[in-house]
Amino acid sequence: MLDTMWNWLHKLASPPMFYRFAGPAANGFGWLSLALLLPGIFLSLAGSPPDYQQGESVRIMYVHVPAAWLSMFVYMSMAGAAVVGLVWRIKVSHAFVRASAPIGAAFTFLALVTGSLWGKPMWGTWWIWDARLTSELILLFLYLGFVALQSAIEDRDTADRAGAILVLVGVVNIPIIHYSVEWWNTLHQGATVTKFDKPSIDWRMLLPLLLMAMSFTFYYASAALRRTRCEILERERNSEWVRELTGGIDAVQ
């Protein structure tokens, strides 16, 4: 069983094999995302009650929390792929890291914007240098720094190694984001879903929140696979299999 899985993963590291796998997989993840998003939006707007303290403003949570979670999840996915790329020198892993960065930056930006929209009525201000908010802003800078670094280095192999090192160094910020509400005095509320005893949130709020979180996650999987396919085509544009795929025309001039 393990040997079969290892052999499949080894084959998947091949750019042509990954390209063929990623297309149908991206479509499947995309449909799953849509199937979860529709009931998630309905329950978020019409099926969940207002909060006894926050009122209707609590509905921002159904976008903010999944976006914030994905901002960290995408970065950790990039870090895992960066390790694989550095250790085993797998080009597909580096392509995945490069493809994921703009998506992670978008989720981080969305988390910051929705957090500000929630903070204004709750805290009376759009922004405060809170530990959670500040570390999340640093995460956005890490994403943007990675994108800028990739654009600044022309040699692809050098850019891959430099980008992977930057991603791994930035991993230290992830536990800071997660545990900031426990380590420091902060205005940001503590954990309500990932508590060890039980979530301190009504199930009518928890259900749409989980649906939105899973929808966002499947969207990331779909978008990352599609972007990785494009990145592979660009990297392998002079390869024989790409020429056959494009009918002898260069994928990227």
Domain ranges of the chain: 25-245
pLDDT score of 198? 57
pLDDT score of 11? 86
208: closest CA among 73, 28, 58, 53? Answer: 58
pLDDT score of 120? 87
With contact defined as beta carbons under 8 Å apart, do 187 and 128 qualify? yes
pLDDT score of 126? 87
pLDDT score of 253? 44
Q: Which residues of the chain have pLDDT under 70?
A: 1-2, 184-200, 248-253
Total-model pTM: 0.92
pLDDT score of 196? 43
pLDDT score of 199? 59
pLDDT score of 122? 82
Which stretches of the chain are assigned E, i.e. beta strand?
Answer: none
pLDDT score of 180? 82
Q: How far apart are CA 6 and CA 10, in angstroms?
A: 6
231: closest CA among 101, 67, 142? Answer: 101
Q: Which two tokens stand for residue 28?
A: 């499947």
